């Protein structure tokens, strides 16, 4: 096991109002949400305050599915200490850009499989939530390749 040591991080960090809503919905309800642009209708996941295409502020939180498809992926074949946990990820492990149903952008996360028959662009995936959630992206344990 690898640990991150005894360093201190004497600061607070915010993900803004919409990022907090995203994390709270995952933690408290195992739900995923995005934010919809009032001008072009694009749905961003995770939510962000301004549309990158229209440069207008957004405030409409919308539900998205916990299922989607692999947009692009990689199979990581080297040791990697996960900064979220301080624990080395399995070698190999899958990592992907995932486009959830109802979203127009991708979020990145780990996959439960490295099977070359199953893991491919367009493969369907479903979020697997941790039983005990803390309000972070790691409240999703990984995405199960269906
Ligand atoms: Zn827009």
Q: What is the mean pLDDT of residues 1-6?
A: 62
Q: What is the mean pLDDT of residues 106-119?
A: 95
* pTM attached to this predicted model: 0.87
Q: In which band, very low, low, confident or very high, does the pLDDT at 133 lie, cut at 50, 70 and 90?
A: very high
Exposed/middle/buried for 142, CB within 10 Å: 0-12, 13-18, 19+?
buried
Q: What is the mean pLDDT of residues 26-43?
A: 98
Q: What is the mean pLDDT of residues 102-119?
A: 96
Q: What is the pLDDT of residue 10?
A: 67
d(CA 58, ligand 1 centre) in Å: 8
Q: What is the pLDDT of residue 81?
A: 87
Q: What is the pLDDT of residue 5?
A: 67
Integer CA distances (angstroms), 90 to 32, 34, 82, 105, 133, in order: 26, 30, 10, 27, 21
d(CA 41, ligand 1 centre) in Å: 6
d(CA 140, ligand 1 centre) in Å: 27
Q: Report the alpha-carbon angle 79-82-84, nearest 5.
A: 175
Q: What is the mean pLDDT of residues 133-137?
A: 92
Q: What is the pLDDT of residue 98?
A: 98
Instruction: Please say whether the beta carbons of 76 and 91 come within 8 A.
Output: yes
d(CA 55, ligand 1 centre) in Å: 7
d(CA 50, ligand 1 centre) in Å: 8
The chain-wide mean pLDDT, for the chain, equals 92
């Amino acid at each position: 096991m690898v640990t991150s040591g005894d360093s201190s991080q004497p600061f607070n960090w915010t993900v803004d109002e919409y990022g907090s809503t995203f994390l709270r919905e995952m933690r408290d309800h195992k739900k995923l949400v995005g934010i919809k642009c009032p001008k072009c209708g694009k749905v961003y996941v995770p939510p962000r305050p301004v549309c990158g295409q229209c440069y207008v502020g957004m405030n409409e939180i919308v539900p998205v599915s916990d299922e989607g498809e692999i947009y692009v992926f990689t199979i990581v074949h080297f040791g990697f200490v996960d900064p979220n946990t301080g624990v080395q990820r399995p070698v190999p492990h899958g990592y992907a850009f995932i486009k959830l149903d109802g979203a127009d952008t991708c979020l990145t996360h780990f996959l439960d499989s490295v099977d070359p028959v199953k893991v491919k662009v367009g493969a369907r995936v479903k979020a697997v939530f941790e039983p005990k959630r803390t309000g972070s992206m790691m409240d999703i344990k990984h995405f199960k390749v269906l």
